[in-house]
Amino acid sequence: MSKPENLSDNIVWHATTIARRDRESRLGQRGTVVWLTGLSGCGKSTIANELEALLYRRGVATILLDGDNVRHGLCAPAQTLAQRHDQAFADRFGLGFGQQDREENIRRIAAVGELFVSSGMIAITAFVSPYRADRQLARMQIESAGSEGDFVEVYVDTPLEVCERRDPKGLYKKARAGEIKNFTGISDPYEPPSSPEIHLNGGDERTVAEQAGQIIAYLEASGRLRAS
Amino acid sequence: MSKPENLSDNIVWHATTIARRDRESRLGQRGTVVWLTGLSGCGKSTIANELEALLYRRGVATILLDGDNVRHGLCAPAQTLAQRHDQAFADRFGLGFGQQDREENIRRIAAVGELFVSSGMIAITAFVSPYRADRQLARMQIESAGSEGDFVEVYVDTPLEVCERRDPKGLYKKARAGEIKNFTGISDPYEPPSSPEIHLNGGDERTVAEQAGQIIAYLEASGRLRAS
């Protein structure tokens, strides 16, 4: 589609399929998934929120995907699905914390990320996403529909002992007590990214603004965001 | 968040969670799902594309969700999933055309619609979505996270014989020959909406622009879109 604003009203408008580049040019930005990964309590959500606030100030259209908005809908557990669907349905499609469930969780988020990229938005995701293979699939899914660079992996590298000391949701305590099975860092492995686009030292909470700024700087340097 | 542009650079910026209303005010529009429903060949995709083109001309940020962009990702069948995952995984999460599968298909699309609403976008969906109960669940899912009016149901009411005569993908022919099971309108029921927000007579292809215009007029009248 080129220059639709130049069309006279007397000309019959023939619908063309609006493509990603049209949506991007409308928004003045490039569709991107900024994928934060790291242990529970590492600071992913805090950095994601700060990043979204900084982008908002610059007029960038964004969405933040995290447990808060996907766990009651897109990636709901069986008990949530059972409230509106039958039990067999809930058992088949509800997501728990087993290996297959985590894989599907990441797959659905990646698929949604792909749709947001196609809409021209910058989608920020904040999930533990502990397995290298799953993140690699997310990258493939998102980049295969567009181009290399649409997926920006951000490793929030905070030592386990710092995360456990923070323990904002009391989950480490429960995991240590054996009340939570399959807890990343305690009873399940975390596989650090081998070559993330951005590697953040997440140890110090006072540096959140600086860390979000590092992500912005990367997006500018890679031409995904205009310098402000 | 109020007037972030007035902040001086000397003031430390404390991240606030960006909310739906912030994203909407940034985009100057209201997050909405325009949900087209109707038989295969009824004109859903044509109207959806025309609607997106009209909205694009007005500077509205949109996404179109249809079989083309969800069937290889978010709602992929088992054979697609098996290319990147193991067979047990593909069998569990892949979607076919059985009743449970269709229900999950619509549920995932509704969940994504909800995320787009939260991003401030206007999401246009074009799926047969033949069951009243599934569309009702989609409405509940989308409106429960926001407010009434976020879900706009558009019934593209084209007689079966017209759809079958068009048969753009040759699907009716295959369904009549028994090559496709569970085909809506032939071997599976279509349950028309009882009170859609918009009821379009989809019988005549020459009226596509007018039909998309009816949707625009509804969005304006209901305060979801500024009059141009």
pLDDT the model gives residue A9: 40
pLDDT the model gives residue A212: 96
pLDDT the model gives residue A16: 65
Using one digit for the tens of pLDDT, what is the confidence trace for A177-210? 999 988 999 999 999 999 999 999 987 767 899 9
Number of domains chain B contains: 1
Q: Does residue B33 contact residue B123 with C-beta atoms inside 8 Å?
A: yes
- Is A29 part of any domain? yes
- Is B185 part of any domain? yes
Band (pLDDT 50/70/90 cuts) for residue B14 is: very low
- Is B128 part of any domain? yes
What CATH number does residue A86 fall under? 3.40.50.300
**Alpha carbons B145 and B103: distance in angstroms, whole number:** 20
Query: Which domain range does residue A184 map to?
Result: 20-221
Q: Average per-residue pLDDT in chain A?
A: 90
Q: Does residue A73 contact residue B111 with C-beta atoms inside 8 Å?
A: yes
Residues of B known to be catalytic: 129
- Is B11 part of any domain? no
- Whole-angstrom CA distances from A110 to A33, A81, A124, B104 are 9, 21, 11, 18
Which residues in chain B have Cβ-Cβ distances shorter than 8 Å to A23?
Answer: 56, 61-63
Using one digit for the tens of pLDDT, what is the confidence trace for B70-121? 998 999 999 999 999 999 999 999 999 888 999 999 999 999 999 999 999 9
Handedness of CA A131, A136, A141, A143 (dihedral sign): positive
Record: contact B61-A56, CB cut-off 8 A? no
Residue A105: exposed, middle, or buried by beta-carbon count in 10 A (0-12, 13-18, 19+)? buried
Task: Report the candidate in B78, B133, B81, B92 with the shortest Cα–Cα distance to residue B110.
Answer: B133
- Is A8 part of any domain? no
Check pLDDT > 60 for residue B22. yes
Average pLDDT over residues B180-194: 94
Band (pLDDT 50/70/90 cuts) for residue B228 is: confident
Whether B80 and chain A come into contact, CB under 8 Å, resolves to no
- Is A15 part of any domain? no
Handedness of CA B191, B196, B201, B205 (dihedral sign): negative
- Is B214 part of any domain? yes
pLDDT the model gives residue B157: 96
Record: contact A209-B18, CB cut-off 8 A? no
Residues in chain A: 228
> pLDDT in tens for each of the 228 residues of chain A?
433 443 344 344 444 689 999 999 989 899 999 999 999 999 999 999 999 999 999 999 999 999 988 998 999 999 999 999 999 999 999 999 888 999 999 999 999 999 999 999 999 999 999 999 999 999 999 998 888 999 999 999 999 999 999 999 999 999 999 999 889 999 999 999 999 999 999 877 678 999 999 999 999 999 898 877
- Is B191 part of any domain? yes
**Alpha carbons B124 and B66: distance in angstroms, whole number:** 8
Whether B2 and chain A come into contact, CB under 8 Å, resolves to no
Record: contact B62-A116, CB cut-off 8 A? no
Whether A28 and chain B come into contact, CB under 8 Å, resolves to no
